[in-house]
Amino acid sequence: MSGSKPAPTQVSRLLAQTLSGEISRREVMKRAAAMGLSAGLIGQMLATASRSVSAQDKPAGWSLTAPKNLRTDLKGAQIAVILGADGPVVPWEEAAVKLFSDTTGIQVKRTSGPESSTERLAQYQQLFGAQASDVDAMMIDVIWPGIIAQHAFDLGPAMKSIGASFFERIVDNNTVDGALVGIPWYTDAGVMYYRKDLLDKYGASEPPATWADLETLAKKIIDGERSSNPDFQGFVWQGAAYEGLTCDALEWQVSNGGGTIVDKDAKVTVNNPQAIAAFERAKGWVGGISPAGVTTYKEEDARGVWQAGNSAFMRNWPYAYANGQAADSKIKDKFDITLVPKGDGADATNADCLGGWQMMTSKYSKNTDAAAEFCKFLCSPEVQKSFAIEQSRLPTIPDIYDDKDVLAANPYYARLKPVFLGGAVARPSTVTKDLYNDVSTAYFTAVNKILTGQGDSASTVGSLQSDIEKILQDL
């Protein structure tokens, strides 16, 4: 046989037999030699195959375990739930739903919601407006309790029955007039992703601490990379006119000492030189270190560019970590996470926007008991741990941050713990109550105008200040 090349199927059968333990390593070397493969080559092929097999070997939901205290007396009940957007989270959610049904006998119909939080709220408001009983439970954004409290079934008792202590700050956020609008499912904080390999290549020993440093480094990396990769970008983020831009722009503003949109006394804080300078700076990125199309990007658009290996930096939420580390990711092991940079001037500070999702039961549901049980299941420590390990979602139970399996999957949790455990900057949803969405819509619309050159910063920010003041007259 020597001299003729082995057919690929012969080789892959050999690898599969070795990995499954069907034949010994010694035997594989013998057969490989007979096929004309060197010991070094077959060793390398085995190492690669065992890496991808171990990733593929683990089906979505492999780390899920059922909490012990679930009710089994609701067998046969049927509920419909709206969970994450179509995308990489769906297989894990489906596995979780199946485990819940297998454990409780409650049938669950899962559907995806829109990626944009702004569109999702509009969809829910239609359902609530019609007092629709066809959706029993749904995930809700951390900024909505004041907007949708009147449609929620009180989940206080369900949360208590989980028997774990949740972050007090989030529980307070989710409590309106004494009732719990949603059980905290996962929390979120805006973070900066950076390519370690490119920082090394271009002689940067640390990720950028300020926006000015990020700009300089991004330019340098673009200059070096574009000749071999014309699609290469410096920095991708969320610039579309939707809630995600409110998060990004709040970070620019706060990090530059420019106020928090509305302060805790309901005073509007956008029309000031530091906020204007922060928006001007971001406008300068568009079509420079960032693609011109960034003003239409949401989270998954940014992640698409980043995970294809086409950007040096990305602002996003922690969910992109697990995706970036997937077996088939181009950037696996080449990146890390740090704080969002500081601006300039005396009041400059790090600002990472607080996000996160809760599980709510609709008060129009005809199965509030079964729906509450589902919310309880998803927010249980067991399920949160799996969500952190497989999908890098930030737990809402502080103890889970010390779990060794969770830390092994997410080493950056240890470093960013102070931010994740309470240091993130909240959007002004508590103080603006049911008017938050109007305030945020005015804000992201104005910022998007500035970014796309449809309005100059100073006058757009001036009108924004008075628009928000008008909205808040109804507070």
Total residues in contact with ligand GLC, by rule CB under 6 A? 13
Mark the segment that binds ligand GLC (CB under 6 A) among 141-149, 196-204, 327-335, 467-475: 141-149
Q: Half-sphere exposure of residue 233, counting CA atoms within 13 Å on the CB side?
A: 25
Rounded Cα distance between 233 and 214, Å, is: 13
Which C-beta is closer to ligand GLC: that of 32 or that of 451? 451
Rounded Cα distance between 451 and 240, Å, is: 10
Q: Give min distance, CB of 240 to ligand GLC, in A.
A: 9
Which C-beta is closer to ligand GLC: that of 79 or that of 314? 314
- Continuous H helices in 202-298: 211-225, 243-255, 273-285
Q: Give min distance, CB of 257 to ligand GLC, in A.
A: 23
Which C-beta is closer to ligand GLC: that of 121 or that of 464? 121
Q: Which of 356, 381, 395, 428 binds ligand GLC (CB under 6 A)?
A: 356
Interacting positions 234-253 with ligand GLC (CB under 6 A): 243-244, 247
9: tokens are 């199927």
Interacting positions 143-162 with ligand GLC (CB under 6 A): 143
∠ CA(346), CA(349), CA(352), 5° rounding?
Answer: 160
- How do beta strands 78-83 and 137-141 pair? parallel
Which C-beta is closer to ligand GLC: that of 393 or that of 449? 393
Residues forming beta bridges with residue 105, ordered by sequence position: none
CA dihedral over 87, 88, 89, 93, signed as positive or negative: positive
Rounded Cα distance between 366 and 351, Å, is: 42
Rounded Cα distance between 317 and 303, Å, is: 10
Contact track, ligand GLC, 306-325, x by CB under 6 A? -----------x--------
CA 320 to chain centre: 6
Rounded Cα distance between 188 and 82, Å, is: 19
Q: Which of 141, 225, 251, 467 binds ligand GLC (CB under 6 A)?
A: 141
Which C-beta is closer to ligand GLC: that of 290 or that of 437? 437
At position 189, the amino acid (one-letter code) is A
Interacting positions 19-38 with ligand GLC (CB under 6 A): none
97: tokens are 């739903």
- Judged by CB under 6 A, does residue 467 bind ligand GLC? no
Q: Give min distance, CB of 427 to ligand GLC, in A.
A: 8
Residue, CB closest to ligand GLC: 355
- Judged by CB under 6 A, does residue 183 bind ligand GLC? no
Contact 231, 306 (CB under 8 A): no
Q: Give min distance, CB of 161 to ligand GLC, in A.
A: 25
- Judged by CB under 6 A, does residue 84 bind ligand GLC? no
Which C-beta is closer to ligand GLC: that of 357 or that of 443? 357
Contact track, ligand GLC, 246-285, x by CB under 6 A? -x--------------------------------------
Contact 193, 316 (CB under 8 A): yes
Contact 394, 337 (CB under 8 A): no
Other CB atoms within a 10 A radius of the CB of residue 2 amount to 7
Q: Which of 14, 85, 89, 142 binds ligand GLC (CB under 6 A)?
A: 142
DSSP state of 380: S
Q: Give min distance, CB of 199 to ligand GLC, in A.
A: 26
Mark the segment that binds ligand GLC (CB under 6 A) among 8-16, 76-84, 99-107, 355-363: 355-363
- Judged by CB under 6 A, does residue 176 bind ligand GLC? no
Other CB atoms within a 10 A radius of the CB of residue 312 amount to 29
Q: Which of 18, 104, 117, 295 binds ligand GLC (CB under 6 A)?
A: 117
Which C-beta is closer to ligand GLC: that of 186 or that of 194? 186
At position 330, the amino acid (one-letter code) is K
**Residues 116-129, buried b or exposed e (16+ Cβ, 10 A)?**
bbbebbeebeebbe
Q: Give min distance, CB of 164 to ligand GLC, in A.
A: 21
**Residues 73-109, buried b or exposed e (16+ Cβ, 10 A)?**
ebeebebbbbbbbeebbeebbebbbebbeebbebebe
Which C-beta is closer to ligand GLC: that of 274 or that of 437? 437
Mark the segment that binds ligand GLC (CB under 6 A) among 64-72, 203-211, 226-234, 349-357: 349-357
365: tokens are 């549901």
Residues that bind ligand GLC (CB under 6 A): 117, 141-143, 188, 243-244, 247, 299, 317, 355-357
